[in-house]
């Protein structure tokens, strides 16, 4: 388990709440005074005392980050004033100290929600080893194969007779508004597997399967519906029907929501 310490003088204003196991200090001085600084520092880049001189011409903010990144330690700077100016300065100074962005530190300027940027549960459960990368816990915004399959399912469902869909799926698709926009013949042709093959790479069914396997979160159960959907696309288009697609879409939505990782 990684030990995480947060320094944030504006903790009370945040739209997110950190796990109580993450100790939060309000000043950088309090962090620097610690005898054991933990494995990861989450530091508010806009700390008012940040620009003050520490030593060797460094600011307090830079000093704390360099100390945090010693050995297997890592740091995340979040929020922080005016990113166009501050972010480049921090990056330059940390790189000058031999630290690498992505491996040792992350600069997340002007974010809305730290929990959307960092997978904090994964970070807390991480086993710290030499050379580990802090960007391994950065949330991304989707896994390509799963996202493509989900978009295809979504589009196809909107092109079908939506009375065949259960209420939960209809709501998931965007409700009556989406149905009205998807109707009118727009999506009828989507029931042909040709379009699906085109998007997923027509010649590579096994490649699609292996990509799904790679992108599937390890802690989540495999989905029979998605396996059947891929089989239907490539082998048995007759089995390519609305209930199957709806089940697969719900599964994909669940996985993408849990994973919050659609590769950019």
Partner 1 sequence: MSTSAVEAPSSWVAGEWQRRRAELTHDWLQNRALPHANALLAITNGAVRGDDAAIAAMSAVLSEWRDRRDDVAWLTEHVVEALSPVNVLDGDSAFVFDEQLRVVSERAWICRHRVEETVASIRTIAFDLDRILAALEPFLRRPQHSRLVAAAPALIAFAAAGRALVEAFRSFPRRGAL
Q: What secondary structure does DSSP assign to 21-55, as a single string?
A: TSEEES-HHHHHT-S---SEEEEETT-TTTTSB-S
Give residues 10-39 in contact with partner 1 (rule: CB under 8 A): 15
> Binding to partner 1 (CB under 8 A): which residues in 113-132?
113, 116
Q: Which two tokens stand for residue 212?
A: 């799904």
| Residue among 158, 165, 244, 248 that touches partner 1 (CB under 8 A) | 158
Q: Which one of 35-43, 160-168, 183-191, 238-246 is the stretch in contact with partner 1 (CB under 8 A)?
A: 183-191
Residue 2 binds partner 1 (CB under 8 A)? no
Residue with tokens 């007759």: 238
Q: How far is the CB of 133 from partner 1 (least distance, A)?
A: 21
Question: Quick one: 175 or 243, whose CB is closer to partner 1?
Answer: 175
CA atoms within 13 A on the CB side of 34: 19
Residue 193 interacts with partner 1 (CB under 8 A): yes or no: no
Token pair listed for 125: 């459960």
Q: Tell me: does residue 189 bind partner 1 (CB under 8 A).
A: yes
Give, in degrees to the nearest 5, the angle at Cα 84 between 79 and 86: 60
Residues 6+ apart with CB under 8 A from 182: 155, 158, 159, 162, 173
Beta bridge partners of 126: none
Q: Could you give the string, one character per residue 130-149, with x where binding to partner 1 holds by CB under 8 A and - elsewhere?
A: -----------xx-x--xx-
- Based on the shown chain and the rule CB under 8 A, indicate whether residue 164 belongs to the binding site for partner 1: no
Q: Does 237 bind partner 1 (CB under 8 A)?
A: no
Q: What angle do CA 197, 248, 148 make, to 5 degrees?
A: 45
By the rule CB under 8 A, 77 interacts with partner 1: no
252 near 153, Cβ under 8 Å? yes
In the bound complex, what is the minimum distance in angstroms from residue 156's beta carbon to partner 1? 8
**Residues contributing to the site for partner 1 (CB under 8 A):** 15, 46, 79, 81-84, 109-113, 116, 141-142, 144, 147-148, 150-152, 154-155, 158-159, 172-175, 177-178, 181-182, 186-187, 189-190, 195, 198-201, 252-253, 256-257, 260, 262-264
């Amino acid at each position: 388990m990684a030990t995480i310490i947060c320094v944030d003088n504006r903790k009370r204003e945040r739209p997110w709440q950190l796990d109580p196991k993450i100790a939060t200090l309000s000043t950088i001085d309090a962090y620097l005074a610690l005898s054991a600084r933990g494995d990861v520092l989450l530091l508010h880049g806009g700390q008012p005392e940040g620009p003050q001189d520490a030593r060797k011409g460094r600011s307090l903010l830079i000093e704390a980050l360099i100390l945090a990144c010693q050995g297997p330690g890592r740091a995340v700077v979040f929020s922080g004033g005016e990113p166009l100016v501050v972010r480049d300065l921090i990056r330059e100074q940390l790189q000058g100290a031999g630290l690498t962005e992505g491996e040792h530190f992350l600069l997340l300027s002007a974010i809305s929600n730290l929990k959307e940027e960092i997978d904090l549960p994964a970070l807390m459960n991480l086993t710290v080893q030499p050379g580990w990368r802090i960007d391994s816990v950065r949330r991304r915004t989707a896994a390509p194969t799963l996202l493509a399959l989900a978009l295809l399912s979504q589009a196809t469902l909107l092109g079908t007779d939506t009375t065949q869909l259960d209420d939960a799926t209809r709501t998931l698709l965007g409700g009556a508004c989406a149905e009205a926009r998807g109707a009118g013949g727009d999506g009828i042709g989507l029931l042909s597997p040709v379009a699906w093959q085109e998007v997923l790479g027509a010649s590579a069914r096994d490649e699609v399967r292996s990509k799904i396997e790679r992108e599937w979160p390890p802690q989540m159960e495999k989905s029979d519906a998605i396996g059947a959907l891929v089989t239907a696309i490539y082998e048995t288009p007759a089995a390519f029907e609305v209930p199957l697609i709806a089940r697969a879409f719900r599964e994909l939505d669940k996985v993408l929501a849990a994973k919050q990782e659609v590769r950019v």
